[in-house]
Structure 1
């Protein structure tokens, strides 16, 4: 029996990030929410004020026998623009920052390694500004945000394809 693992990513509006990860084979569960801030149990309205310090993020449970953390990292970098600080497309604010919230030292090292190897390619013309920080308390978003695209018949809003 394989032990499932957790990953947490922030890459702009969490609806599109969740949709993208939920469609990757080996991802068992996704949940959108808020992390990386100082306010306990923030609401969407509070996070939108930019005063809580939280990022819109996605908690992912994955089966490493099907997909590796490294493969999730490459999907993360491929599906948003990690060169724009506090912004993805029309969404502007610190809650839309690009961040990897690692749960283990191995995840931290892998995130740095993948980011360094992507920076050596010509995939992006500007430097990557993605934060790599230790995971903190994750607060699930309100129910209407969970699986938002599926509930509303949408297919995604990837900024970078």
Structure 2
């Protein structure tokens, strides 16, 4: 199954930049963003390509430590979402820039508790904000996208305060790069990476 965001009404190259965003820092540093957009293998594959991204770790947020393992999360009964924790340099990129890729490429934010054939609350669209600034930027951007009607349906992305991030099992890390010929990766993850390269090539790592 190839990935295609059928709800997007505009070309990804015309996707709006966030009107409200954090200012770029004057010197290098490290900040974190935690995003949920379906299978973490696919979202991770996208963000590993971006300039300014220092590290991407797959994991779980939204539930407790006791059930933060893949087998339990896959039941859809643990309250966790599959997430990626993105460590980025705020002198090179911003939270709003990361959200632009999240909404334009990484997933379809109009699908409730699913992404394509991946169904369940663990595949929900969510932004786990670390502070009030991230919350304000995310809220404003969702309002901006809905007002611009860039999708044929409303954005259903949830905003949840980040309580905990639990790193996923080692075999989940860098999964798409290590298994490019696996059917799911070839059909779902790699088309997203191709879309990123096609429309956002100026934002990729050298």
Pick the structure with greater CA Rg.
Answer: 2
Aligned residues: 160
Give, in whole Å, the separation in 1 of the partners of 2:127 and 2:45: 17
Give, in whole Å, the separation in 2 of the partners of 1:63 and 1:148: 23
Give, in whole Å, the separation in 1 of the partners of 2:53 and 2:154: 29
CA contact (8 A) 2:41 2:172 kept: yes
2:104 paired with 1:83: no
CA contact (8 A) 1:8 1:59 kept: yes
Note the aligned Cα RMSD (angstroms).
1.6
Structure 2 unmatched ranges of 5 or more: 1-26, 196-206
Per the alignment, residue 22 of structure 2 pairs with none
Give, in whole Å, the separation in 2 of the partners of 1:19 and 1:44: 18
Give, in whole Å, the separation in 2 of the partners of 1:25 and 1:2: 13
More helix by share: 2
Give, in whole Å, the separation in 1 of the partners of 2:191 and 2:174: 14
Deviating runs (4+, > 2 A) in structure 1?
38-41, 153-158
* Partner SS state of residue 190, structure 2: coil
Inter-CA distance 97–32: structure 2 relative to 1 (3 Å threshold):
same
Per the alignment, residue 200 of structure 2 pairs with none
CA contact (8 A) 1:39 1:52 kept: no
- Report the CA distance between 1:156 and its aligned residue: 2.3
Structure 2 length as normaliser, TM-score? 0.74
* Partner SS state of residue 66, structure 2: coil
* Partner SS state of residue 120, structure 1: helix
Residues 3-152 of structure 1: matches in 2 within 5 Å? 3-40=29-66, 42-79=68-105, 80-152=107-179
Structure 1 unmatched ranges of 5 or more: none
- Report the CA distance between 1:122 and its aligned residue: 2.7
* Deviation per residue, 1:55-99 (Å, 9 max, x gap): 000001000111111100111111211011100011000000000
Give, in whole Å, the separation in 2 of the partners of 1:133 and 1:156: 28
Give, in whole Å, the separation in 2 of the partners of 1:141 and 1:81: 23
CA contact (8 A) 2:67 2:78 kept: no
